[in-house]
Amino acid sequence: MPGSVALAGAVLGTFLALAAPTFTSIHRAGYCAFYGECGRNPEVNISLVSSTVPCLSNTLARVATGPLLALLRTVCPELVRGNAETTRVCCSLAQLSALQLSVALSGTVLSRCPACARNFANLYCNNICSPDQSLFTNVTRVINHTTAHGTPQLAVVEYQCFYQQYFADASFTSCRGVRLPATGGYAIDTMCGRYGARLCTTQRWLDFQGDKNNGLAPLQINFQLVPNGTRPGDAIVPLGGTAWRCSQALSAQEQPCSCQDCAESCPPVVAPPTPQPHFLLGNPKGALVLCGLLFGHLALVFIVALLCQRWRAKKKGTAPQPAPAPAPAPATGCSARLGDASHRVLARAFRRWGTLVAGHPVTVLALVAVLAGGLSAGLVTLRLTTDPVELWSAPGSRARQEKAFYDQHFGPFFRTNQVIVTAPGRPSSGYESVVLGAKNFSGVLSEEVLRALLELQERLAATTAWAPVAGREVTLSDVCYAPLNPTQPGLADCCVNSVTQYFQNNGTRLAMTATQTDGKKTGTVDWHDHLIYCVNSPLSFKDITALELSCMAEYGGPVFPYIAFGGYPGKRRASPGGVGTAGGMSRHPLVPAGSEYTEAEALIVTYSLNNFPRDDPRHEWVLSWERRFLEVVGDFQRTHGPNLSVAFMAERSLEDEINRTTGEDIPVFAISYLVVFAYIALALGEYTAWRRVLVESKVTLALGGIAVVLGAVFASMGFLALLGLPSSLVILEVVPFLVLAVGADNIFIFVQEYQQSQREPGETREQHIGRVLARVAPSMLLCSLSEVICFFLGALSSMPAVRTFALTAAVAIAFDFLLQMSGFVALLALDARRQEAARFDLCCCCGMGKGGPAGPGARLLRPLLHRYYTPLLLHRLARPVVVLLFLFLACAGLYFTLQVPVGLDQELAMPKDSYMLQYFAALNQYLAVGVPTYFVTTGGYNFSSLDGMNSICSSAGCATDSLTHTIQYATRFPNVSYLAIPATSWVDDFLDWLNPTSRCCRIHRFGNLTGEFCPSTSNNATCLGGQCLNATRRPTVEEFEQFLPWFLHDRPTLQCAKGGLGAYDTAVSMDADGTILASRFMAYQSPLRTSQEYTAALRAARDLAEEITSTLRRVPGTHPDFRVFPYTVTYVYYEQYLTVVAEGVITLALCLVPTFVVSFLLLGMDLRSSAATLLTIAMILLDTVGAMTLWDVPYNAVALINLVAAVGISVEFVSHITCAFAHSTKPGRVERAAEATVDMGSKVVAGVAMTNLPGIVVLAFAKAQLIQIFFFRLNLIITLVGLAHGLVFLPVLLSYMGPSPRVPAGDTAGDTANGAEQGVGLALGNPCFEDRDKDEDEDKDKDKDKAMAPRQG
């Protein structure tokens, strides 16, 4: 039913058309309706070509002879019938010459699809020259014209043209998919007026061709499409016939239209595999199920082993309680003897060294100060790296090499400065256009907002910025990207994309109005009408309204609406006019069908500036202008803030904001370190009475210890700076934190061991210090050596920032150990001397006289661990629960580790008060197209060969697997390829530019310029007939090399829109001999929001480039090293995420290896203790990464640096307790674990956890989100998880799998039945928890003068 209604309407329309006035009295085959030329059309004010109109002539068609027939064979070959006597036409030679020019203009755009070009030419050939012209033509309006000889004539200014519907549809269908390689759009965009490609139909296409206001038609042509099988009457016979299908070849020597221009020519394309869904086992996630099964398996193994142990113990029977354990016998095993020997050697060496240093403290301190100060002096040569590329991308990485290649051949990627304007709360409004119909305009698309935007751009165009180093004022024209005038650009040449460019940034044109008559309707047209037209036909040089304004920007290029508008409604479409392709995928996936640009929520202004290397003086120019840009736009934001929302950014903004927030957060870091310093200063002291506070305080010693730590940091950075290694802000923030944690732990262990140690009879103070050092130094050496080797192995990372951090941390920890073994031992000796003399801390000149402390100092942590915590932790019922709990946490950590997001979104790099956050939010909400992506070819490919051209291009005759075809296929699947718009191709446009039917490539045939290039705008007689090629064909190698430079420097004009200047002049890099060294083909990505999408887009683009490379290497003459690679400005930042997971696993694994090896060697080849250390640290890392997922901490290079540091901190939590366990003399594992927890656990808590936590908490108040996420959250996780594993899990683990104690032969070792019972019966009366403090206090009462050193539990 709807079809019959449409048919009836079409028939009725045809008959109504016949009711119009007619000046064609004869409708008969062989008769003309008009002939010859009758001057210019006075009704056409602005025309881009000659507006000469024909003369009314109801006469017989003329015989075509001589030059007319020869030209007819070239322009309209279908009209040539037999010989000269039988070929008749209704056009003169002058008319045919004008037709040739018109066909040449369209041929420049359509010639890439021969069937379309021929069909389009045939329409006009029939209209103007057909011998049966009167059959389908009806002249409806004429005007009087007088010839130069005074002869009166009637000039035709309007006529009707009747076509069969099927014939017109076939012609339109053959052209609807033809592309413009320079823009990635469709040729039909320029040929359908206000409708553009997405709304174009056959009728609208023809209506635009016949509209005298389109700037090309010399008169008004009203096309009437007659339904198939009907006749309009009055002897009129609609023009019909067969149109060429785009998939047909015009002859055996020619090729059909390519897939890119003709969907019918496309081979079946198999959809690439979509991203793999989550691994599922049934409905639950597979990873969750597997982690659950892993926990169940481990728990089952543990429980079975525990039950077997209990069963064996019960089978042997319960033994009586053993007597107090005798002293252990000498080790009997080889590894045990070796361990004891190495421990004795180390202890003896450290004892002698400590005694020596304590005996000469001032000399040692002087030497240490000179050494540390000398190395720290190297900081004057320190280079601070702030460039993100230098920080996170290795110089030898693929992305860096590709960036260097791109910059070398094409220059650095241009800089983007952008403003996004929205009008929240402003109501939309309707507009009724006389010509274009009703449209809705959003609130932001009002004249008030457009004028504000125009005012901003005028101010930016007029602004100057002072460049202090260059000593000059910089204007926009000094730094802007000017594609059509790159050598001497003016302000009008600068590439600025905005909605006001549809009016050439001219306020007068924005205010223009005109009276418009369309049929019977008359009204006023203004900026609304022009805007509606331009968003649908952005390549038009003249709109169809009475305003007669161009849509091209002031700089001469088009402004595509998807770049100038954001947040417009619309859906993705299949293809122009709704024709789909194989598999239901779209030919142009990003172009919205039904997109209403006039309803856009945002207007986007984009300034493209030239980018210069950092060592180029002009780099300062562009930075200065961008700084001024930010100031001007900031003022605009404040001025229009009440009515408009303005988001903006400059290329320099990201680095500026990071540097700003770093500077603002320096006080936060300073407070964090001060809090840590204050804690260390207070916690080191042991206070026995109020009157002795000033004596027993350790502020001076604490500050000295801190100075030692900072001295190690500065010395290491200065040393590496002297070696030429640069540093970074990340290193300045993390390394002091790490070394302070390690150094403070050693300080607490050493000082508290000295406080708790009783001086032996006859032992001097220096010998006492040496003996204490001998007890604790092996453990400190174990930790420090493990960490140093760990970080040196971490320096094998390919990421510059990770490598530099690891090297700095390794050297700093090594220096810290050496300075603590020398400088801090000397400081302790001086402080012990001060305290024994009862001198005040901080003011050693004053004192309170001789006299020891009244009793032991106040103790909290050690008694708490001794009396309550350890008995509960190592209770026979608690230990299995602890193991099962931590196994569960490990498996849960493994699951969440697999879910951790990889990457770093740009928003996280900004402080919360940054204007960039508003910009990123607007970008993600309104952006309609992503960044340009270039497919770059390296040297070694022969573009000039026939196979070379055909394997690149996408027009007729090109290979189906050519570079541009392959990219086009990829755009059909944007969910996989992340490509939205196919690649522009200089090869395609070069071949079109060479087409002899156009005016593009011409040569001066005679005169002074013989053999030189003749521009398309030249009407010089020397260019007539001087086409570069005499036929439509591929150029020879010599022709290719001769004409390509002409093409690249030919400015696009109306006469030749294919000129390469601006679009391609920088897309081909050639040497002096004309050899192509590199070229690029530009596509556009889909809008990308997250770092995960950017990374996936990079991976997909590289896969696509590898496929293209493989294809092109098969072309004869291609060098084996030739390749194609994708490049965009973001790849160098996101490449790290392709490998950061694998690199992180390898780096952390390498860090764990020395921890195990050093523990194994220094603990006397104790495999069990070393394995316990390795397992605990691995579980700490696993749970840390899992907690990152729960607390929204993404995994990236910054997180990897912190995780490498976490290994070092975990060693502090774990190795000291393991070392204490290994050297304990208690008879059973449980007792030894208890002793190690009490003795060393308190020092670890005080020295590591309590040193880190106060400083970490302060970082929560930092402005930078990076600091809050990667330094507050992540370091808090590391500290708490490390503390839990070191103080809870490790003692229990050692109580189960620790090495057997060394006891005399015949005694039972390990967790035998007795040992198990001892572990089960842990309580306050257990000998393992005897309070040594009571015995020590009795000794102090006997000889107070010899025991001046205070103690702290």
Gap between the Cα atoms of 856 and 862, Å rounded: 13
pLDDT at 613 over 50: yes
Name which of 322, 314, 324 is nearest 1313 in CA terms: 314
pLDDT at 690: 61
pLDDT mean over 714-723: 93
C-alpha 351: how far from its chain's center? 56
pLDDT mean over 223-239: 87
pLDDT at 16 over 60: no
Highest mean pLDDT among 379-388, 611-620, 628-637, 1198-1207: 628-637
Q: Are 567 and 602 spatial neighbours (Cβ–Cβ below 8 Å)? A: yes
Summarised one tens digit per residue, pLDDT across range 769-805 is: 999 999 888 888 888 888 888 888 888 888 888 888 8
Q: ∠ CA 745-746-749 to the nearest 5 degrees? A: 85
pLDDT mean over 439-443: 92
Gap between the Cα atoms of 1313 and 316, Å rounded: 8
**What are the residues facing 1078 on neighbouring strands?**
1069
Pairing label, strands 88-89, 62-63: antiparallel
pLDDT at 1349 over 50: no
- Who's near 719: CB < 8 A, 6+ residues apart? 375, 378, 811, 815
Name which of 95, 71, 90 is nearest 29 in CA terms: 90
Q: Are 980 and 929 spatial neighbours (Cβ–Cβ below 8 Å)? A: yes
pLDDT > 90 in the chain, percent: 44
In this predicted model, which residue has the larger pLDDT, 353 or 1261?
A: 353
pLDDT at 860: 65
pLDDT at 506 over 60: yes
Name which of 1216, 1169, 1161, 1170 is nearest 342 in CA terms: 1161
Query: Confidence class of residue 457 from pLDDT cuts 50, 70 and 90?
Result: very high
Helices (H), 554-643: 561-564, 617-640
pLDDT at 584: 30
Query: Confidence class of residue 8 from pLDDT cuts 50, 70 and 90?
Result: very low
Summarised one tens digit per residue, pLDDT across range 1129-1181 is: 889 989 989 989 998 999 899 888 888 888 887 777 788 888 999 999 999 99
pLDDT at 927 over 90: no
In this predicted model, which residue has the larger pLDDT, 395 or 845?
A: 395
CA dihedral 939, 943, 949, 954 (to 10 degrees): 50
pLDDT mean over 19-28: 80
pLDDT at 939: 94
Q: Are 830 and 753 spatial neighbours (Cβ–Cβ below 8 Å)? A: no
- Who's near 840: CB < 8 A, 6+ residues apart? 694, 695, 846, 847, 848
Gap between the Cα atoms of 1000 and 817, Å rounded: 77
Q: Are 188 and 175 spatial neighbours (Cβ–Cβ below 8 Å)? A: yes
Gap between the Cα atoms of 984 and 114, Å rounded: 20
Q: Are 962 and 1142 spatial neighbours (Cβ–Cβ below 8 Å)? A: no
pLDDT at 333 over 80: no
Query: Confidence class of residue 1278 from pLDDT cuts 50, 70 and 90?
Result: very high
**What are the residues facing 220 on neighbouring strands?**
158
Q: Are 943 and 1079 spatial neighbours (Cβ–Cβ below 8 Å)? A: yes
pLDDT mean over 879-897: 95
The pLDDT mean for the chain works out to: 84
Phi/psi region, residue 1025 (left: phi>0; alpha: psi -120 to 50; beta: rest), is left
Name which of 504, 503, 506, 502 is nearest 493 in CA terms: 504
pLDDT mean over 651-673: 82
- For the record, the structure tokens of 228 come out as 């198939």
Q: Are 294 and 987 spatial neighbours (Cβ–Cβ below 8 Å)? A: no
Gap between the Cα atoms of 358 and 772, Å rounded: 12
Summarised one tens digit per residue, pLDDT across range 1207-1243 is: 888 888 898 899 889 888 888 899 999 999 998 888 8
Q: Are 102 and 49 spatial neighbours (Cβ–Cβ below 8 Å)? A: yes
Strand, helix or coil for residue 36: strand
pLDDT mean over 138-163: 90
Q: Are 711 and 372 spatial neighbours (Cβ–Cβ below 8 Å)? A: yes
Q: Which of 143-157, 236-250, 564-578, 913-927 has the lowest mean pLDDT?
A: 564-578
**Considering the entire predicted model, what is its pTM?**
0.82
Strand, helix or coil for residue 1003: strand
Gap between the Cα atoms of 22 and 159, Å rounded: 9
Q: Are 549 and 199 spatial neighbours (Cβ–Cβ below 8 Å)? A: no
In this predicted model, which residue has the larger pLDDT, 1345 or 455?
A: 455
pLDDT at 657 over 90: no
Phi, psi of 1331 (to 5 degrees): -85, 95
pLDDT at 700 over 50: yes
Query: Confidence class of residue 1080 from pLDDT cuts 50, 70 and 90?
Result: very high
pLDDT at 1332: 39
- For the record, the structure tokens of 993 come out as 């530019």
pLDDT at 1347 over 70: no
Q: Are 1203 and 1184 spatial neighbours (Cβ–Cβ below 8 Å)? A: yes
